[in-house]
Structure 1
Amino acid sequence: MPEPSLPLSLFFRALACALLLAGPARAEQITVFAAASLKTALDDIAAGFEATTGNSVALSFAGSSVLARQIGLGAPAQIFISANPEWMDWLAEQGRIDPTSRRDLVSNRLVLIAPAGHAPSHPLADLAAGPGRIAMALVEAVPAGIYGKAALTHLDLWDQLAPRVVQTDNARAALALVATGAVPYGIVYATDAQAEPRVMPLYTFDTDTHPPIRYPAALVTGQDSAAARALLDHLASAEARAILFRHGFLPVEE
């Protein structure tokens, strides 16, 4: 007499349920705190990483100073990418990042921007002579603002222009003020200008007018995982670097 088919059917049902339950459990979510200027490029990189690995990437963008302070207070980020070394150093002093994982990913340039179609022949002279306000990230805390103030100081323009500066939480917020026409000038990263068709770069600041612009990345202490390490390695891969370069970022000069 043949055995009933019910136990075999139940076995396959149980196996299917186990596979369904096991699938999501194998995938991990990786939380990344990153400088706002990286948003466009990191969105593309994260999408490719997710499609390849099955892991998900939660990206949180803001000024590097804000993110570093949040991590210092215990925010559950697994990877931090800063727009300058100083905020990464600040976390390192507190033991909040894994120093062995730290690496510089890319660099950037600093530009003066205006709404598209505005093309003065002498942009710095017009900026100094005109009454228009200038959008910049926070000049004492956010890397883009720190670099911008340093450049204007080097050019002997800061004291003259400081009363006209509108400070924002990050470089992308400064970019938005110019893109919407709320402010006629802004100082942002070259990559920001490339990402926004409503603005145009008027002038690129020489690299010797400000500290080198570098984007260090590192794992956050106590938040390590195999998936987080895989993503950090991927950020330094040729594939990810090609995306970053396509969005206007530059190699780090040794």
Structure 2
Amino acid sequence: MRRRLLAAASPLVWALAGPAAAQAGPSTIFAAASLTEALRDLAAQWAARGHQPPRLAFAASSSLARQIEQGAPAALFISADEAWADYLQARGLLAEASRSSPIGNALVLIAGRGSLQPITLSPGTALAALLGPGGRLAMADPAHVPAGRYARAALTWMGQWDALAPRLARADNVRAAMLLVERGEAPAGIVYATDAQAMPGLRVIGRFPRESHPPITYPFALTRQGQQLPQARALLDFLTGPEAMPHWARHGFIPAP
């Protein structure tokens, strides 16, 4: 049930906001699920300065981009990879000059506390043995979700993709993948380092080297609708500006390469 609620969060905001609200009300941010805690805190800081608190919708970047393409009233889009920002930009749905990628992330292997032991992740590491005879590896679906694509690249670099592809527990987004591990439905999972930090019931048992996958960056941009809203521009400047950078770092995000 919790997994379905995570996947459905952004359509709910779309239904509540409506096109008119995008013009007259607070700015609506469509953001990758891995930004949840950090962006909620930054939104609270923004509101504390006397601004209207933004509406926040979190889901997989792919799902959010498709909704914007279909007319959802988002003023800002924050993707977990460059590809989905490219997708919207190619369709004229982003304000190109507003786009920047100030923060990045790392990829880690997680397990429940007190279960699996830490390992070194390198080419040839036998993750299948770590999972046991029937265990599955939880990760966001690589067919649609950036976190899953990064994970697939890392497993390919390790020489493990062909062996593990049939044993994946594919989730709608990275947060749903974490829940599978937390509930014991999968002994291990691949998620962003920031997500692992936000879930105290899990622990990191391995870190993927940077060279194992493309750089993980988060493009921020105004949408075609948002570029008409002065409050949305000001909010974007705040989220990507120097005042916000220490806050992103406290949540585990790193400067984009």
What's the TM-score bracket when you normalise by the shorter of the two chains? 0.7 to 0.9
1:36-55 to structure 2, matched below 5 A, reads 36-55=33-52
Q: Which amino acid aligns with 1:248?
A: G
Alignment partner, residue 64 of structure 2: 67
Alignment partner, residue 241 of structure 1: 245
Cα distance between partner residues in 2 of 1:220 and 1:251: 23
Q: Please give the secondary structure, in 2, of the residue aligned with 1:69.
A: helix
Q: Which runs of 5+ in 1 are unaligned?
A: 1-26
Conserved? CA contact 2:27–2:54, under 8 Å = yes
Higher Rg of the two aligned structures? 1
Cα distance between partner residues in 2 of 1:213 and 1:37: 12
Cα distance between partner residues in 2 of 1:193 and 1:176: 11
Cα distance between partner residues in 1 of 2:156 and 2:101: 26
Q: 1:221 aligns with which of 224, 235, 247?
A: 224
Alignment partner, residue 10 of structure 1: none
Cα distance between partner residues in 1 of 2:120 and 2:161: 15
TM-score normalised to structure 1 length: 0.86
Alpha carbons of structure 1 residues 121 and 60: separation in structure 2 relative to 1, 3 Å: closer
The alignment status of 1:118 with 2:122, answered yes or no, reads no
Q: Please give the secondary structure, in 2, of the residue aligned with 1:40.
A: helix
Q: Which runs of 5+ in 2 are unaligned?
A: 1-23
1:40-189 to structure 2, matched below 5 A, reads 40-122=37-119, 125=125, 127-129=127-129, 130-131=132-133, 132-189=135-192
Cα distance between partner residues in 2 of 1:90 and 1:150: 20
Cα distance between partner residues in 1 of 2:213 and 2:126: 21
Q: Please give the secondary structure, in 1, of the residue aligned with 2:109.
A: strand
Q: CA RMSD in A?
A: 1.4
Q: Please give the secondary structure, in 2, of the residue aligned with 1:111.
A: strand
Which sits farther off after the overlay, 92-101 or 234-243?
234-243
Q: Which amino acid aligns with 1:128?
A: A
Q: Which amino acid aligns with 1:239?
A: E
Q: Which amino acid aligns with 2:161?
A: W
Which sits farther off after the overlay, 96-105 or 50-59?
50-59
State the identity as a percent: 50
Q: Which amino acid aligns with 1:174?
A: A
1:68-113 CA distance string (max 9 Å, x none): 0110111100000000000000100000000000010200000010
Number of equivalent positions: 227
